[in-house]
Chains A and B, each alone.
Chain A
């Protein structure tokens, strides 16, 4: 038994990707058990491993953690990526929740009905460039390398992840944000993160249309 965290989820980004990012950034090796068909999910459910019958689920430190935010909070706290006090934590939480909203919008685009997809994406990208990125560009005006407390935190990991996901849909998304551009380069060069960004890592590719049916079959 390795003692490494074990991630239970399909072989896709979905709601588990931010967990993979955070563990990787923390330099924590982890294993993955992929759900490939409905029976895999049902087995986890009937074994009583999923508190609310849902994944993501992460086996870590003798617990079977569920609920993405609970998992992320635990990892961030354990590996000192959650600020040094309640006020830093408050800032980190605000930033991370904002980015989660944006990420969710982008993630949900692929399951929109065909006639709504383009408009939905346009709205998501508009929010990225007019609501969310300006906030983080402004924060980085403090001249430090990291968003909060002059130290790497989950907020920085989350921001990099979000930037890359937006750029996949709009390559010039950072055109008006010079500080975010240098932030992106800087954080991408942190050794653990650099490693995660290389081919062969446990980072997952964007969801393809052709993969949606088999994913839906697991959950419905």
Chain B
């Protein structure tokens, strides 16, 4: 019997959200065990379930995997979302690292002081429109295909859609100068597994609210 992967994290997006996206896009059902208070994290640590005492942790194929990138690479490889050879993988890796940098900046915002946050929102907007999105727009323009790499859906496409939606939450017209990304967003959102994930009631998580921010700080002691 194939067991479903089991995700251990808080109820928020954080570092686990990209994993939820990838599993969902791959059409893989998964379970979640939520860390609601510090004691839940302590228990995982004391049970020896966390290799480096940290989450995300995903139970999958008999392993207790930790480290977000390790988990994502494993899922991408397993479900054929990682290109067909080393060179395609290199391109996927480059694209994903770019969207990781961008989303990392956005993820940090809820935990920043108001003045720092305001400056960073401006920086994120600038980076999104001058450093990151132009790269993906150009990639789509140069080959004219539906997907970023190898004319086939890959982890890079799923990650880019996640990044676009997250950035749009910050500034709804962020794609105004990027017609191909707009079309990409429309196309990707209609992929059946992704469409399902985007609907209410899915395991996709909302942005953090004030109460959740305080709780996350308590759980992780920062």
Contacts and interface: CB of A to CB of B under 8 A. Distances in A.
A185 interface: no
Interface string A132-165: 1001000000000000000000000000000000
A175 interface: no
A53 B131 contact: yes
Contacts of A101: 52
Contacts of A89: 73-74, 77
A90 B74 contact: yes
Contacts of A171: none
Interface stretch (B61-69, B173-181, B194-202): B61-69
Contact of A77 (B67, B86, B131): B86
A47 interface: no
Interface in B50-95: 51-53, 61, 63, 65-70, 73-74, 77-78, 86-87, 89-90, 93-94
A116 interface: no
A78 B74 CA distance: 18
A67 B131 CA distance: 14
A77 B52 CA distance: 25
B94 A94 contact: no
Residue among B77, B87, B94 facing the most chain A CB atoms (10 A cut-off): B94
Interface stretch (A6-14, A24-32, A68-76): A68-76
Contact of B87 (A53, A63, A86, A87): A63
Interface of B: 51-53, 61, 63, 65-70, 73-74, 77-78, 86-87, 89-90, 93-94, 97-98, 101, 131-132, 135
* Pairs of residues from A and B, 5 with the lowest C-beta to C-beta distance, nearest first: A70-B93, A93-B70, A97-B67, A67-B97, A94-B70
